[in-house]
Amino acid sequence: MTRHELVNTIREKQSLLCVGLDPDLNRIPARYDGNVLQFNRDVIDATRRYCVAYKPNTAFYEAMGLEGLSILQQTITYIGQDHFIIADAKRGDIGNTSRYYARFAFETLGADAITVAPYMGTDSVEPFLEYDGKWSVLLALTSNAGSDDFQHTPQEGGEPLYEKVMRRAQLWGSADQLMFVCGATQAERFADLRRIAPDHFFLVPGIGAQGGDLEAVCRYGLNEEGGLLINSSRGILYADDPGQAAHDLQRQMAVYLNKFAPGLSQ
């Protein structure tokens, strides 16, 4: 999916919602009797009109062994072509090896995008960016407590590591192929994040279970094209009514789009 198509979808649906498909066998309703694929299909059917993206986290599927990978493939096929699909895999290795991860995400799974870890630098990220029409979503400022350990530390010259990552990575990939992970739990920093990368999309986890502030993220993070994909996983998957939970989020997003990015309103 191109950026133009993604922006059009955001405008049409008045939604920035990304649904995280992270099925936890301990939390899936008993009526599914452990049938993860059926659970995913039902969540997708209930939410597809309200969201613009899906983000299966590969960890949840790998933990189910070979069957899990098959479920992941079938889930992505079931989603189809009308949503932006992010394989949340947080991969990254020397260039020779990242090429294989790229093949896994983009060819084996057929995702539009993969999340990538920046620690190993340019040649670990480039093989993902070399895929025409595919996207890399680079970890910048994550939503977890451990983001304090290294990401916030000022580098020589004063900028924190996440800022260095975002500035450097903009030399590697354009806003048509590169996004950044910016956690909603760091909402107070979104004005600053948007200043560092005015044009790039941010993938924003941390709404809901992790406590992020949706209004602040939209207020400071929206740009003229939206520029945000805001993820909810547990808050939708394990709601009594996943469709209702997704619809509620979409309606809030429509309000904030109207308020903070009026050019995108219908």
Here's the x/- map for a second copy, 85-114, by CB under 8 A: it reads as: ---x-xxxxxx-xx-xx-xx---x------
**8 A C-beta contact, residue 147 and residue 163:** no
Interaction between residue 153 and a second copy (CB under 8 A): yes
Per-position x/- string for 12-51, each x denoting binding to a second copy as judged by CB under 8 A, each - no binding: ----------x-----------------------------
Q: How many residues bind a second copy (CB under 8 A)?
A: 55
Report whether 242 contacts 235 (CB < 8 A): no
Q: Clarify whether 134 is annotated catalytic.
A: no
Distance between CA atoms of residues 114 and 166, nearest Å: 17
d(CA 145, CA 135): 27
Spatial neighbors of 264 by CB under 8 A, at least 6 apart, are 7, 10, 11, 14, 224, 225, 226, 257
In whole angstroms, the minimum distance from the beta carbon of 124 to a second copy comes to 5
Nearest CA to 36 out of 74, 2, 4 is that of 74
Cβ atoms < 10 Å from Cβ of 9? 18
Position 3 contacts a second copy (CB under 8 A)? no
Cβ closest to a second copy, residue 22 vs residue 112: 22
> Is residue 151 near a second copy by the rule CB under 8 A?
yes
* Annotated catalytic residue within 13, 55, 90, 134: 90
Residue keyed to tokens 């451990």:
146
Answer for which of 40, 143, 223, 252 binds a second copy (CB under 8 A) is 143
> Judged by CB under 8 A, which of 12, 35, 45, 63 binds a second copy?
63
CB 15 within 8 A of CB 256: no
Query: Cα(147)–Cα(93) distance, rounded to whole angstroms?
Result: 20
Catalytic positions are 90
* Chain residues that interact with a second copy, rule: CB under 8 A: 22, 57, 59-60, 62-63, 65-66, 69-70, 73, 88, 90-95, 97-98, 100-101, 103-104, 108, 117-125, 139, 142-151, 153-156, 161, 164-165, 168, 205, 210
